[in-house]
Amino acid sequence: MAGRAGTRLPVALRGYDRGQVDGLLGRISRALSGGPPVSVDEVRAIRFDVVLRGYEQRAVDELVRECIRELQSTAPYDERAGRPRVHPGWLINWIQNARFAGAGLRTGYDVRDVDAFLDRVIAGLRGTAPPVTARDVRESAFRVVRLGSGYDEQEVDRFLVQLAGALERR
Which of the two residues, 26 and 3, has the higher pLDDT score? 26
Backbone angles phi, psi at 80, to 5 degrees: -75, 150
In our burial notation (b when 16+ CB lie closer than 10 A, e otherwise), range 126-147 reads eeeeeebebebbbebebeebee
What percentage of the chain exceeds 90 in pLDDT? 29
Least confident among 31-35, 98-102, 144-148: 31-35
